[in-house]
Amino acid sequence: MPKFRHGFRVNWVDTDALAVVHFSNYFRYFEKAEQEFYERHGKKEAEVMKEMNLAFPRVDAKCTYESPLHFGDEAETELSLSRISDRSVSIDFEIRNVTEGKRAAHGSMTLVCVDTRSWKAVSIPAEIREMFSSMG
């Protein structure tokens, strides 16, 4: 199964005074790919959150930086499922600098499924579990 990939161009505002993307923004690129992953599955993350009273806050986030990204670079975030349990899901990501043909970074996130009314961890609904399981 091919992995999910989301292509994008680096924004000016994402850079810092060293003329490279600020390290915190890689986590935002991951999050953007996550939103696009829902879209690819015909879902809107915003609607899932609202209709199911769910959110997926992160409990863990890490990233290893390999090569910088610059303004305007073509880049690509690849997501792959690393582990799914009853109430949480761990996703690995890679960000590639397509312009330079190099891997820019890789990392992982652990998301917990919470009910936004109680802010308590709950089981991931079957439909969402299925979606994540198809991630590759």
Work out whether the CA dihedral 73, 97, 111, 109 comes out positive or negative.
negative
Interaction between residue 45 and a second copy (CB under 8 A)? yes
Interaction between residue 134 and a second copy (CB under 8 A)? no
Q: How far is the CB of 111 from a second copy (least distance, A)?
A: 10
Interaction between residue 102 and a second copy (CB under 8 A)? no
Stretch of 17-25, 79-87, 89-97, 125-133 contacting a second copy, by CB under 8 A:
17-25
Interaction between residue 71 and a second copy (CB under 8 A)? yes
Q: How far is the CB of 17 from a second copy (least distance, A)?
A: 4
Interaction between residue 53 and a second copy (CB under 8 A)? no
Q: Ramachandran region of residue 119, left (φ > 0), alpha (ψ -120 to 50) or beta?
A: left
# residues near a second copy by CB under 8 A: 41
Residue 66 half-sphere exposure toward CB, CA atoms < 13 A = 12
The answer to whether 43 and 136 are in contact (CB under 8 A) is no
Nearest CA to 78 out of 56, 38, 110, 107 is that of 107
Interaction between residue 12 and a second copy (CB under 8 A)? yes
Here the tokens at position 61 are: 């986030």
| Residue number, 3 or 50, with CB nearest to a second copy | 50
